[in-house]
Structure 1
Amino acid sequence: TATTMAGAGVTTTGSPCGACKFLRRRCAAECVFAPYFCAEDGASQFAAIHKVFGASNAAKLLQQVAPGDRSEAAATVTYEAQARLRDPVYGCVAHIFALQQQVVALQAQVAHARTQAQLGAATAMHPLLQQQLQQQAAAPTSAPTARRCTAPRCTAATASRRKAATNPQM
């Protein structure tokens, strides 16, 4: 049976990694692709990389990255290659744009929900304001509406003066 070194995809039986399997070559012990492209499904992942970037460019890229970051770099290059094959014009940027539009739409929904919550809280605290809003909604838009004082510190005298000022025929 084949034993795997540190779960990295390098086998001691000499079976090639997914990249070498795709390239139909012998997998060397120092193969840069072996830790990141397993023998089972690595060939299909590497096919996209090979088609978009080329095997030598992908090898150079992985060798330039710090060993601790190579796994993430291999996953990123795989994702970018697959995205480029799906959308030759925009590649992975199309997904980024879609996510940005989704963020904008969700932010608008949150702002609307906050406004509704504040309006609900305000109308619950001020029953007169709620009554006034209902009357304004029911009143025809062409007729002027009498203004009511709904502020808590208004007195009856202040309210009657305001009513007299807005309605001079009284």
Structure 2
Amino acid sequence: MGGSSPCASCKLLRRRCAKDCIFAPYFPPDDPFKFANVHKVFGASNVSKMLQELPVQQRADAVSSLVYEANARVRDPVYGCVGAISYLQNQVSELQMQLAVAQTEILCIQMQQEPTLPTQIEPDEKSLLLSTENLNNLPQYLAFPSSSNVIQDPLKRESLWT
């Protein structure tokens, strides 16, 4: 940044911003809170060391991650990002359960609304079933003779040998 306005980190740390300032590309002067939270959580020295160890093409992603984690730590000092992730995972689980219940209810409603399909009956069986002669004789088919051998109580069993 050199002669123009110092980057957010140099401004916060009250030092002169050098041309090769490692923070300048990632912490512009118009967003001072971005660096303030990162500095508060990680410290300027640690952030500087982390950025110097990374290749230039990975630094922007690293700064983005540091800013996200720092903001999460400011909101939730104990859990940080993990608290947010855990909350979102619980919310996803609850929504998946609600979705499963809704899908089950839809399936039940669809099954109730579908007409039952008749089984396929052969034409000669239809004529046998529909003949008036068989309808008149129906009571005799339903009348079963009672037997004294039928076990009324399932727990009371009689031996076949006695």
Q: TM-score, normalised by structure 1?
A: 0.65
RMSD, aligned CA? 2.6
CA displacement at 1:94 relative to structure 2: 0.9
1:63 aligns with 2:29: no
Q: Which amino acid aligns with 1:101?
A: N
- Structure 2 gap ranges (5+): 122-128, 130-137, 147-162
CA displacement at 1:66 relative to structure 2: 2.6
In structure 2, how many angstroms separate the alpha carbons of the residues matched to 1:114 and 1:152? 27
1:153 aligns with 2:102: no
Counterpart of 2:92 in structure 1 is 103
Runs of 4+ in 1 over 4 A off after TM superposition: none
1:86 aligns with 2:75: yes
In structure 1, how many angstroms separate the alpha carbons of the residues matched to 2:55 and 2:91? 34
Structure 2 residue matching 1:51: 3-state secondary structure: helix
Counterpart of 1:140 in structure 2 is none
CA displacement at 1:84 relative to structure 2: 1.0
Counterpart of 1:5 in structure 2 is none
1:74 aligns with 2:40: no
In structure 2, how many angstroms separate the alpha carbons of the residues matched to 1:86 and 1:59? 23
Counterpart of 1:147 in structure 2 is none
Q: Which amino acid aligns with 2:25?
A: P
1:45 aligns with 2:34: yes
Q: Which of the two has higher C-alpha Rg?
A: 2
CA displacement at 1:49 relative to structure 2: 1.2
Counterpart of 2:158 in structure 1 is none
- Structure 1 gap ranges (5+): 1-10, 128-150
Percent identical among aligned pairs is 46
For each residue in 1:18-48, what CA deviation from the matched residue of structure 2 results, as whole angstroms up to 9, or x when unmatched? 111111111111111111111111x221111
Q: TM-score, normalised by structure 2?
A: 0.68
Counterpart of 1:20 in structure 2 is 10
Counterpart of 1:132 in structure 2 is none
In structure 1, how many angstroms separate the alpha carbons of the residues matched to 2:56 and 2:46? 17
Residue correspondences, number? 126
